[in-house]
Amino acid sequence: MDKVGTFLLLVPILLFSMIAHEYAHGYAALRQGDPTAYQLGRLTWNPVKHIDPFMTILLPALTFFIWHFAFGGAKPVPVNPRNYRKFKRGDIIVSMAGIAANFAIAIVCTILVIILGLIARQAPSAIETLTILQIMLVYGIFFNLLLAFFNLIPIPPLDGSHVVKYLLPPAWALQYQRVGQFGLLLVFLLAFFATPVWMTPVIGFFRFALRWAGPFVLPGVGGAL
């Protein structure tokens, strides 16, 4: 399978994972007392509501064809922390919800790889279809770990910064949050020029997942990755 075919195959799971991250933020915000995402129609699984032309389409395509791994995100869900019933608690929960969703998807993808491998042993005639599904799921493991660990980086406005700021003295936290005005620039510099630093835990957890799923991965999967 060529790279174009592989990328098109991965589009559904990439899109689902990015939307799940933002949906989790919006749902957690609603549970904490902020209906902003719901009122603006963003608490939905409709992909049209979440697609950002650059982050959701162009960036994943560029990173996949240049570095052979897809990276991107959906349009951020709007939240208003002032509506949280408990500001600090709500801010942390909402910020971590997207990361938790991606970790959960990575775990589910790992389990499904194992299940498909077991099915293939009982139904050899379906191996071709099951191989395609496993390719999608293995990429799903990696991509969701990538999203989770990248968002844990404590640089405003990434999710991890919403936890770190509460660990600092108030004066330091204020200065720390001001970094947010340069945050997007720092994030892109980190993403493209410090890849080994933040990719290390991604690769480590990916290998750990494959250690469990490895015996059930079909022969055709390895050659497609």
The rounded distance, in Å, linking the Cα atoms of 9 and 11 is 6
Contact between 36 and 78 (Cβ < 8 Å): yes
Taken in order 55, 6, 141, 133, is the CA torsion positive or negative? positive
Contact between 54 and 85 (Cβ < 8 Å): no
Contact between 45 and 23 (Cβ < 8 Å): yes
Instruction: Determine which one of 22, 34, 91, 159 is catalytic.
Output: 22
> Which residues contact residue 33 at a Cβ distance below 8 angstroms, ignoring those fewer than 6 apart?
83, 84, 85, 90
**Maximum Cα interatomic distance, the chain, rounded to a whole number of Å:** 65
The rounded distance, in Å, linking the Cα atoms of 120 and 150 is 34
128 is catalytic: no
The rounded distance, in Å, linking the Cα atoms of 25 and 90 is 11
The angle that helices 127-152 and 87-122 make with each other, rounded to 10 degrees, is 160
Catalytic positions: 22
